[in-house]
Structure 1
Amino acid sequence: MKPILLSLILVVPALFPASQATAQISIGDTVTTQTGAPDTLTAGVAEWDKAKPHPTKYGETRDLLTGVTRDLSWLDIHAYLLAAGKSFSPAANEAADHLLIVREGSLTVTIGSAHKVLGPGGIALFSAGEDPSILNTGTANATCYLLSFRAKGGIDKDRAKQAGPPVLLDWPELTMKKTDKGESRPIFSRPVAWLHKIDMHATTLEAGQISHPQHVHRNEEIILMRSGHVRMHIADGYQKAAAGDLVFLPSGVPHNLENGDTGRCEYFALQWEQ
């Protein structure tokens, strides 16, 4: 699966994350994890409607997913609502690489000399140490997801520099390829500071289509629903997912995505290699 996207398991818990008591995780400007900390995330769907909003000075946040995976010593996914004229800046340090995905409204993203207005479906990928600013220059609220991640394999700042400048792409700029099931949009496949490679694409499925036969792969994966209503076939069970929801698929878990009969669905798919 394609559009930025955390051992073979035959019985998958319906809810996640699992207990995080065994891992030391701090969210914010600093991140600390135990060496060899066990995975704290299992396969499942994080529902937008069940993520409790927390008021902030610029709007609100929603906690969607935080924990440790097979390849990541820290994965944190928050949603941000920015009121008109408000802004925020992720921590500008080496704690994590970041991926921003706009859900609603328009956001102006500035990273060094790079500057761009991103609408719904727009994405920004920036490496650890870069200092982004996200501003809502519109007249209505805007919402986005911010994915922060660091790999267990360590950081390589030179690798990030060689990969080039931050990725800033708006949805209309993405190259669309027709498929026998709908559409596919490749977005990026490149290194960042904490990851040897991160790959993202978007997929559109027509009504009644499935992404592919249920399969497994070594890489962990994140699915972010942009529109529609689907069933995620995870191991031996099914879980519903709708626009705004996020799906985490650990390494080796059998899965596929089944669209319903009522209309198209769109989703981002994200994988990585440490």
Structure 2
Amino acid sequence: MNFRKVGAAAAIATVLALTAGACGGDDGDNGSGGSGGDGKGKITVGIKFDQPGIGLKEPDGSFSGIDVETAKYVAKQLGYDEKNIEFKETKSADRETALANGDVDFIVASYSITPEREEKVDFAGPYFLAHQDLLIRADDNSITEATDLNSKKLCSVTGSTSAQNVQNDFAKDAQLIERGGYSECIGALQNKVVDALTTDNAILAGYAAQSQYKGKFKLAGLSLSNENYGIGVKKGSDLKAQINTALEKMVSDGTWQKVMDDAFGPANFKFEPAPQIGQLK
């Protein structure tokens, strides 16, 4: 008997068996390797867990907000059943890394499109236009303009560009305070540890409208920047074109308007009309 031939044949059989298992064993459960149009695969979507009206994990474990509803709609257009969507918390500082590592298939997390971010990821959209504003305590009349933040403490979250924008463009002497999440900034504002919280007006309106905060905070009513929310995908991914098609349909069939009305109507927040895909303001 030729033992070399026997050994080689065994090795080949082992490789074939492993290959067959890899091709057919997981039924596309790992998101980007999912089954796409047959609705049987899994897809993982990055969202925020702590932004009322945008992306919020409710006490019962469900999710709400415009980013959540947009993600559901897009996933359905890509061929995934809602039950097969896995929402994964993706904080501001972690978004680029999550996409690069394949931890998520796409991100819908109040993700403003900027030239710096476009160097690292691709964006579909925009699907929403927000403006940077300030949230202050309801009894604070000392802050009416961004320049009033000089020598005051301004909170934002790690990985967000909002506070740095204020310091660079409006109040160079503002003291920047970073926290891991917006809820931590809200607590610091309520306890007078900081004087203001800055981020997008849609996010701030969502917090101000929560029952436990009603009457305690107010928006300054400023438009310090345009924030074009996009859906982040891994650089070079063909998902960008597919998601853009889904977003266009979401607007044309009326779903976009309903989602925004449901999210912001109770807060009396006047949001911008649906932006044109591929056009930034």
**TM-score where L is the length of structure 2:** 0.28
Q: Answer 1 or 2: which has greater helix percent.
A: 2
Q: Answer 1 or 2: which has greater strand percent.
A: 1
- Structure having the higher Rg: 2
